[in-house]
Structure 1
Amino acid sequence: MSDSYYTNKSVLITGGAQGIGLGMAERFAQAGASVIITDNDKEAGTEALERLRKQHLEVLFIPCDVSQEDEVKQLMQQLQSKYGHLDALVNNAGIADPFMGDLQEMEVSAFDKVLSVNLRGPLLCAKYALPLLQKAEHPSILNISSTRAFMSEPNTFAYSASKGGLEALTHALAVSLTQARVRVNAIAPGWIEVGEWEKKQKRYEPHHSEEDKAQHPVGRVGVPQDIAEAALFLCSDKAGFITGQSLTIDGGMTVKMIYA
């Protein structure tokens, strides 16, 4: 896709200050988009701005907790004032740590918190972004799910449930927003290495064993750019006949049969 395709288009990426979100923010901006990053980690947001502006990319950071309705409303009001429309909403913000411990020891409040960010957040963002999206020529919503929506390790109740719900929300929104001309799709990433895409305090140099790589039929662990390239396509009018779908990007890991 041409690196000028998104010129004069605005793209909002929630949870865009680190990891996959930051990778997508960089790629959309490289393709010409005016990128708005929102994140509840102000330190990470400031570092993300520095990183992207060093590349002379157009990016704006607005702090926001997507689980809080008032904050989401205020975010969209700011975008209305600055841009007047929104071409794409990428719902990426989420509590990423999937492990919650034994079921009997799990705090229900912790379960609720994960769902409030990972599932309620995308719904709120879609609700309040809709008037802005309807002003765009080819509006799109992209939800970042996870292969954990379809498979689990032990004690990943909240994360798996939230991502499974996000998959269902994707097709529900796609059907519901037909008259609004908004396409809605999802990407379900597998193992994506984000060590080099974290804020400085959390950054680390990745190391993967040959066994780690061999779990993937493509022979390596994923990187944020793998997700970003697919996001660029799905949010464009090149994907105009695609809606209500989920694309698994995991290097083939979920289709590989493994015997214990």
Structure 2
Amino acid sequence: MASAVADLAAAGVASPRVDAEVLAAHVLGIPRGRLLLVDSLRPEELSRFTALVAERVKRIPLQHLLGTAAFRHLELQVGDGVFVPRPETELLAGWAIEHTRPGATVVDLCSGSGAIALAVADEAGPGRVVAVERSPAALAWLRRNAEPYPAVEVLPGDVTDPGLLAGLRGRVDVVLCNPPYVPDGTAVPPEVAEHDPAEAVFGGPDGLEVVRPVIALAAALLRPGGVVGIEHDDVHGEAVPELLRADGRFTAVTAHDDLTGRPRYATARRT
């Protein structure tokens, strides 16, 4: 274990001990907390563990090696072609769950793996969740993850299309979106640069190219009193709330920080 941690640290992995322990637990098929009870690995287990560590040293995402990403109470299947959900997005999902009444209609735009949509379906008891995704590769993962949730409808679509979801105009209770929002040219870790789809990460020169049409679409979809929540880059703590105010169809615009105190998402209510 010590040599694995050292190799991961030398490769620039941010959490080398955690990653090594997670990979060891994965190989053994046990919870990470039970590793203290393990004295040694059998030869075949050690070989598999060593191979996984070598892949992680290459900065292949931990979640790709595991085949799943943890998100709130979910284990989502992820891999090439879909954005790996991040822990900070659990905050937006939690806000959404708190604001989704039983039987509500929810729309999750730029759904990716389905993390937000499925967390809401899993915890809030909505009547209908529409998960919209443009990328064919991401759609395959989204459909796979959504299979156990009959309330979730997966829809191919581009959130910049003003005609998207025309049949739901004025009928939606909650609109959510974790769009591509990193400004073009921003340096990102190898796990992101080489494995997350660029179209799910970068949002144009200022990072807001997708956020702007999402705000307009949310205003059209929401019923009066319905709510919207949009995740954004930490440089957008003022810009996204201002875009919501400037639209003119929202009230109660609120900026929210993540657990590190960085701006992370904005919410508003339809007038």
- Given the two structures, how large is their TM-score scaled by the length of structure 1? 0.48
Say which one has the larger Rg: 2
The structure in which a higher percent of residues are strand is 2
